[in-house]
Structure 1
Amino acid sequence: MPATPVLDALREIHRLERDRLASTPHKDMPKSPQAQVAFLHRRLGRNTSRVAELLGVHPQTVRRYLRGQRRNPPPAFADRLRTEVAARFRSRFARQADTAIRQQGLRAYITATFTFSSPSAGTSDDGRERRLNEDLTPAETERLLAARDAGDEKQALQIVGQGVGEAYFGLRETGMDVEVRDLIHIKFEL
């Protein structure tokens, strides 16, 4: 499995904020088949046909689970149900943590080698290791969270490198690109 230091750091700040927000243990994903079907039913606009299509069953089967008439799904259906619920489940505290991160913004602490490029001057070959800590703009924070949700480590590193580099070197809106060549350490704070 490839290393994902930026995504891991984002997940860690998200976990810390989620735990801070949770005064009681955070709500777990629905466990019983009936609760899982009901969760999907609510998420998909209370449309039984959409839930049935998603799960690959007849709409009447969904209705039976909703009414509690079926309780023990076949293994293949149970796996599909669990997978679909997990893909859509976000606890209330996780959503609140994302909201707090978006509102407060992130401060990035990064140790890496930075290089620069511009359309007119080309690319610098003499990157040097720097320890920087800068605030990311709200737009950069939003793009960073989208990269986290997509699981795109390369995009996340590019966003952090560009944001921190532009803030530190005063390059915002100059057309120069900042690239992180060798990432040594990264951490985020609110």
Structure 2
Amino acid sequence: MAELRELGGSRDVPADVALRAWIVLWSGEGRQRKDIAELAGVAPLTVDRCKARYAERCLAGFEEKRRGGPRTQVTSDASATAPPMGTTDDPRIRRLTQLLPPQHVRSMWDAYEAGDERALEQAMAEGLGEVYFRDGGRRAHGLEVSITELEHVEVDWT
């Protein structure tokens, strides 16, 4: 469990790997599946998959093959609001690590350089909306995303 705790708190691993470690840890603490899913911002089936992958392959079960080319990575804990209520897009805390397309990274950098926090949040919301919520145009067409109650953000500009 100490190894899982270390992995879950590490800044040197992708956020999705750290989240999987926390899911297994919370399960080991005896928390209920639905409570873990709500806390992690994932579906209950994802909780089951994380636990099964860990049972089968230990820490190696947390790794996934990465797709796509190099882009800037944005890690944020943010509330994203999106109607309609009762869907998986309900407003909730989400821990996201996403590679954003260059045009969104450029908008974020310009806002950062200008010291315009609201414009930075808007550019981040547009990028996360495109990549995470609308999956590059494959779903949730017309969905509007906004960043509210931003708790933490880390941006790797490299």
Q: TM-score, normalised by structure 2?
A: 0.45
**Which has the higher relative contact order, 1 or 2, with Cα contacts under 8 A spaced 6 or more apart?**
1
Q: TM-score, normalised by structure 1?
A: 0.38
